[in-house]
Chain A
Amino acid sequence: MHVDKDLVAASATPLVLAILSEGESYGYAILKRVRALSGGELEWTDGMLYPLLHRLRRLGYVTTEWRTPPEGRRRKYYAITDEGRAALAEQQQQWVAVTRALNDVWPGSGAVLTALGEA
């Protein structure tokens, strides 16, 4: 299944914030997590993640830090801030509202959408 580009873009922010709320991470790991979560159905161009991360940083939703892990290269880590968590909570409510509305007019797909909405 191919998920519409606009939908991918709209879900990118809450998805990244949610992943970061599990703990700090870096670009490549975030992308892998996105792929794993969506079972490969959300197609991201890898490069697009970075402008998004930079935007989140400008809005104060995440902080960044360059660190060199013991085994590897210097790498930029992103961590969510309290503001980021607040924004995530806000986005969650919006998505719940959207999925609930869709749920009501799409009989039959209810179970899936409920799972999505309340997640």
Chain B
Amino acid sequence: MKKSLTGLVMGLLLSATAFCKAAADPVSDKVKQSFQKEFEKATNITWMYQKDKNVYHARFQYNGEMVEAFYDEEGSLLSTARFITENQLPILVMKQMATEYPGYTVRQVVEFTNESQTTYIVSSYNNKETLVVKFYPDGDSQRIKKIKNKF
């Protein structure tokens, strides 16, 4: 499940429209109640459903930021994803990025949190390519995608 949700976050980074294509299914009361308990002050909520993964997800504003929350059909919160700025990355991640990927400009950062771990998926580019790299809070990283720029 964790792997497939990382795929959804990748969709967030690489194509903002990927989520909108999901068919909107009725969301059960169980899932909605669980959501309201966790994110009491959420606004502009849009619900979507990934039928193939059987995952409900809500996109909404929370503390002035866009957040995605993923639920299973029982209403358990599986994970959250939120767009953050480069400055919100842990210092060890900033430090590692500067060492490992000097000269790249950060385009987008998604903080991905599940029950046990927070990871950061960073999309950055230089004049040759765009990289999508997953960082752990200790600065360890794993390259997920490299896309050559089309000029």
**A, B co-complexed:** no
Give the interface of A toward B (CB within 8 A). Answer: none
Give the interface of B toward A (CB within 8 A). Answer: none
